[in-house]
Amino acid sequence: MAELTYRDAVAAGIAQEMARDERVVFLGEDVAHAGGVFKATVGLLDQFGPKRVRDTPISEQAILGAAMGAAMTGLRPIAEIMFSDFLAVCWDIVANEIAKSRYMTNGQVQVPLVIRTANGAGSRFGAQHSQSVENWAMMIPGIKVVAPAFPADVKGLIAAAVRDEDPVIVFEQKSLYPMKGEVPDDEHVDELGKARVLRRGKDCTIVALALMVHRALAAAEILEKEHGISCTVVDVRSLVPLDTVTILAEVAVTGRLVTVEENPRLCGWGAEIASIIADECFWELDGPIIRITTPHIPLPSADRLEDNTIPSVERIVREIVEKID
């Protein structure tokens, strides 16, 4: 095991797959010579050369159009969209072309590509560069969606995404890039569609994603020590496929569901999980489902305002205490 930052785990996952399979290529804005705007791809150009690691123009349509064409003709590209907000610029290619081609050709045309993108708040980039948009992708049939919370998951899920025959979007929470954690040195491949139970309790089940996983874990410690509320914490990790088996099982044990979501409340991924819980294990519930989310507003760039907008540890604790105690 090596201790790597979240950003270094990105490069490790890409390097592992590029070394294993010469069909894997990597392209995006400033990903080669500069090593990425978040320095998550440093060293890849030196290791694999300019034919396989390519800087592109500032054009999201060009990046994904080239990646789609490469995937359709036998390569397995990884394409970076610098900020997840910019998926809006090339959404037609994602939602209507990449997502639909395998289905519309009855499998004659496959598009095995990975889109990596920096997602979420915490870096004071303002309303157009700080959105958490994983729920945008979750609603498009034909795309798989993952959002790792830990460095080891970054490496393993990127590897699994590269090897998958369907297009996969990997959302990397940008404020997690400096975080350190143990990552396997040797080949590490995770599994798409598997949630992970990080902590078990008896009073409620907190379901969270990416940055919110860490805040949920911190809140769970405070809730137990200061309020006597024992919480299970589930890291969703993969929104599509969604591991409903694990989530349903853990909610059935505690009788309560709390979702902690960085995305805005309206149509957030937690609403879908709440719907599934209501359908599948309503009679196991001991109280209303609690959704803790970002309000339905553009994100401010001022530090105090941003901190007051996305769910904090203190807010998670407060809302659970108010509604469960």
Quick one: 310 exposed, middle or buried, by C-beta within 10 A (0-12, 13-18, 19+)? Answer: buried
Is the Cβ–Cβ distance between 323 and 288 less than 8 Å?
Answer: yes
Of 6, 44, 17, nearest to 28 by C-alpha is 44
The C-alpha atoms of residue 48 and residue 24 are separated, in whole angstroms, by 10
Of 142, 139, 75, nearest to 112 by C-alpha is 75
The C-alpha atoms of residue 173 and residue 149 are separated, in whole angstroms, by 8
Marked catalytic residue, from 129, 188, 214, 296: 129
Its sign, for the CA torsion 167, 64, 98, 176, is positive
Q: Count Cβ neighbours within 10 Å for each residue of 225-244 and write b for 16 or more, e otherwise.
A: eeeebebbbbbbbbbbebbe
The C-alpha atoms of residue 28 and residue 78 are separated, in whole angstroms, by 9
The C-alpha atoms of residue 249 and residue 277 are separated, in whole angstroms, by 10
Concerning whether 188 is annotated as a catalytic residue, the answer is: no
In sequence order, the β-bridge partners of residue 302 are none
The token duo for 185 is 């040195």
> What kind and span of H or E run contains 83?
strand 76-83
Is the Cβ–Cβ distance between 212 and 175 less than 8 Å?
Answer: no
**CB neighbours of residue 122 within 10 Å:** 18
Is the Cβ–Cβ distance between 320 and 258 less than 8 Å?
Answer: yes
Of 20, 24, 82, 75, nearest to 53 by C-alpha is 24
Catalytic amino acids? Answer: 129
